[in-house]
Structure 1
Amino acid sequence: MIPDFQSLMRPLLEALSDGSVQRTRELVDLMSDRFGLTTEERDAMLPSGRQRLMHNRVGWSITHLFQAGLLERPTRGHIVITESGREALATHPDRVDMSVLRGFASYREFRARSSARDSPDDGSATAEPDVDAASPQDLLAQAVTENRAAVEGELLKRALALSPTEFERLVLRLLERMGYGRSGGVEHSGRSGDAGIDGIISQDPLGLDRIYLQAKRYAPDQSVQRPAIQGFVGALMGAQGDRGVFITTSSFSAGARTEAERVNARIELIDGSRLAELMLRHGVGVQAEVTVTLHQLDEDFFETL
Structure 2
Amino acid sequence: MKKGYMSQIALSKRVGWSEGNGRRWIKIFKEYIPVLIDGRNKLYNEESYKVLSIIKALSENNFNSSQILEIFSENGIPSTDRELEEVIESKSKFNEFDQTIVDSIPSSKDLIIPLLNVMRDKKPYTSSMLNERIAQYFLLSEAQLSIAYPDSKEFIFTHRMRASRYSLKKQDYIEEVSKYTYQITEHGLALLNDNSEEINEEIEELEKVIDPFEVIQEKVEEIEDELITKLVDELKKAHWRRLETIVVELLTAMGYGDGQVTEKTNDGGLDGVIKEDKLGLDNIYVQAKRWENTVGRPEVMSFSGALDAKGARKGIFITTSNFTKGAEEYVERLESKKIILIGGKKLARLMIENNIGISIKKRFVVKEVDFSYFEGE
> More helix per residue: 1 or 2?
2
TM, length-normalised to structure 1: 0.52
Is the Cα–Cα contact under 8 Å of residues 262 and 271 in structure 2 kept in the other structure? Answer: yes
Distance 1:137 1:121, change over 3 A: closer
Aligned equivalent of 1:296: 368
Aligned equivalent of 1:143: 219
Distance 1:206 1:298, change over 3 A: closer
Superposed, 1:1-305 pairs within 5 Å as 133-181=209-257, 185-189=258-262, 191=264, 196-203=269-276, 209-219=282-292, 222-263=293-334, 264-305=336-377
Q: List per-residue Cα deviations over 1:87-138 (Å, max 9, x = no partner).
A: xxxxxxxxxxxxxxxxxxxxxxxxxxxx97679789xxx9xx9xx7333322
* Displacement of 1:233: 0.5
* Displacement of 1:140: 2.2
* Displacement of 1:207: 5.4
2:241 aligned partner, one-letter code: T
How many positions carry a matched residue from both structures?
179
* Displacement of 1:144: 1.6
SS at match of 1:146: helix
* Displacement of 1:299: 3.6
* Displacement of 1:288: 1.1
Is the Cα–Cα contact under 8 Å of residues 286 and 315 in structure 2 kept in the other structure? Answer: yes
More RCO (CA 8 Å, sep 6+) = 1
Structure 2, unmatched stretches of 5+, are 1-148, 164-207
Is the Cα–Cα contact under 8 Å of residues 190 and 196 in structure 1 kept in the other structure? Answer: no
Distance 1:204 1:179, change over 3 A: closer
Distance 1:120 1:135 in 2: 16
Is the Cα–Cα contact under 8 Å of residues 190 and 197 in structure 1 kept in the other structure? Answer: no
SS at match of 2:311: coil
SS at match of 1:247: strand
Distance 2:309 2:152 in 1: 44
Is the Cα–Cα contact under 8 Å of residues 117 and 145 in structure 1 kept in the other structure? Answer: no
Distance 1:285 1:205, change over 3 A: closer
Aligned equivalent of 1:98: none
Structure 1, unmatched stretches of 5+, are 1-114
* Displacement of 1:202: 2.5
1:155 aligned partner, one-letter code: L
2:256 aligned partner, one-letter code: Y
- Give the aligned CA root-mean-square deviation in angstroms: 3.1
SS at match of 1:156: helix
Structure with the greater alpha carbon radius of gyration: 2
Distance 1:117 1:147, change over 3 A: farther
Distance 2:279 2:256 in 1: 15
1:251 aligned partner, one-letter code: N
SS at match of 1:200: strand
Distance 1:287 1:116 in 2: 29
Identity in percent: 33
Distance 1:204 1:178, change over 3 A: closer
